[in-house]
Amino acid sequence: MTLTMGLRRSLALDGRAEALVSAETRLSRREFVDRVARLAAALQDLGMRDGDRVAMLAANGHRYVEFYFGVLWGGGVIVPINSRFALAEMIEQARDAEPVVLIVDDAFAATGEELVKNVPSIAALVIAGNATAANRAAKSIGYEDALSGAKPTADAMRKESDLACLFYTGGTTGRSKGVMLSHGNLWANAMATIAHLGLDENLVHLHSGPLFHLGAGARVYTTAVAGGKHVVVSRFTPQQALATIAREKVTVATFVPTMLAMLLELPDLEGYDLSSLRLITYGASPMPEPVLQECLRRLPQVRFAQSYGMTELSPVATMLGAEHHMPGTPPSRLRSAGRPVYSAEVRVADTEDRELPRGKVGEIIVRGPIVMMGYWRKPELTAETLRNGWMHTGDSGYFDDDGFLFIADRIKDMIISGGENVYSIEVENAIASHPDVAECAVIGIPDPRWGEAVHAIVVARAGADLTAEEIQRHCRAAIAGYKCPRSVDLRSEPLPQSSVNKIDKAALRAPFWSGRTRQIN
């Protein structure tokens, strides 16, 4: 049960069928597998051995999908780098993962050179674009040159218990952590997704979310296991996504709620030919109810399904299927996260991991073959998160009498904005490094477009002339743009303290969340 098995199966079914479309590139299954096998051989020639990591920093494209499979075909482990990270964050991630090869596209060629300078493990830089030999850095080689000079190699046939991917997420310590996912983890996720959504070799999947995220990346593996066709857009815009669906006869698309809200803003939405589209799946952040109701009204021919999970769960733990998005479905049901998928056992538990009765709020914990191997080189954090055989999600919720899971709040101090996870402490560390800041707190507040927005409350040092714009500018130099506060509240009085002398974030959140049934949006 390795993730390359789907490629071999699809080749056996019909090697002439189209496997992948991206911009002007169209590849048959036979051509795609040939390029995957050549990439594997090229990476081995550059020093990759079984279990070695290979990182990629690029926009979506056919080469990114080839990376997803070529590294595994050659026995390695993929490490997608978040292209929205600041350079310092990229360097930190790469130093932790220690990739032997880094693949970048033309847009990130200069950043790739900086990573090579600052990460000793990188032995080779592969430029997956149109850069010429004259402007390539030392240690670098062109992607197409590497493939054309390599002879296709046999699949390394890694085991399902072998590490396949390292996906990095934020953390409550303010440092990113690598989530270790095995071939078996992602296979289990793919099989559960296929079963719940009724996918098969007729699947034509639109990949429009960034492939450095598992939310988008997992569907690459699911599509391959199902024997379907990949349709890739370099970056999401509502017009490009809809035009691609119409042109390529896409059958399934995956969006985060913010993307769906952007689609609904198009005045000519009904003018696109979406007759091939039979299913839209959404997740990564809670769906605002007005957006969902508008989707159901304006796209009546399309079925919808929601998934809930996280990177540590490969990533899906529960699903609210299309049968629960039909006309007449109670609004309360649409607010749920659905029921556990076939590959997950989900429990709501107290602080001692004892199962709580229906309707009682507790922490959501999960076990099953989708649960990660652990955190890369963090044994103590792994033991704490996977204690008693259960993955502790840091989310709180409850089950109703029909077995539907409802998310109540996040126990971890995390904000989800536009489908991106933002840990408050990362932003607070960046703000606190400003010499004129005496005290700060970062919270998530409701936002109609992004779900939640990052909001900072800052107390300046006595005599300092600090502005909100200065705080935002300072943050942009230290952390990724999506983590930076969208709004800043400058105060002169000290921030409220809890009974244990910590900043009372509940009190700071209260005015923004008053009158809402849950503390996430």
* Cα of 6 vs its chain's centroid, Å: 22
* Contact by Cβ (8 Å): 263, 269: yes
CA atoms of 328 and 335, how far apart (whole Å): 14
- The model's pTM: 0.85
* Per-residue confidence band for 172, with pLDDT thresholds at 50, 70 and 90: low
The full length of the chain comes to: 521
Asked if the model's pLDDT at residue 277 lies above 70, the reply is: yes
Q: Could you tell me the CATH superfamily of domain 5-19+28-182? A: ANL, N-terminal domain (3.40.50.12780)
- Residue 215's nearest CA partner among 294, 97, 347, 306 is 306
* 36: region left, alpha or beta (phi > 0 left; psi from -120 to 50 alpha): alpha
Q: Which CATH architecture has domain 414-513?
A: 2-Layer Sandwich (3.30)
Asked if the model's pLDDT at residue 134 lies above 50, the reply is: no
* Per-residue confidence band for 173, with pLDDT thresholds at 50, 70 and 90: low
pLDDT, position 517: 65
Please give the residue that has the higher pLDDT: either 280 or 287. Answer: 280
* Contact by Cβ (8 Å): 126, 141: yes
CA separation (Å) from 319 to 147, 189, 204, 209, 340?
40, 12, 21, 19, 6
pLDDT tens digits along 53-86: 999 999 999 999 999 999 999 999 999 999 989 8
CA atoms of 402 and 404, how far apart (whole Å): 6
Asked if the model's pLDDT at residue 499 lies above 60, the reply is: no
* Contact by Cβ (8 Å): 95, 181: no
pLDDT, position 341: 98
Structure tokens at 139: 């240690």
- Residue 282's nearest CA partner among 309, 301, 300 is 309
Asked if the model's pLDDT at residue 103 lies above 70, the reply is: yes
Q: What ranges do the domains of the chain cover?
A: 5-19+28-182, 414-513
Is residue 232 exposed (0-12), middle (13-18) or buried (19+ Cβ within 10 Å)?
A: buried
Residue ranges in 119-237 assigned as alpha helix (H): 143-148, 183-197, 214-226
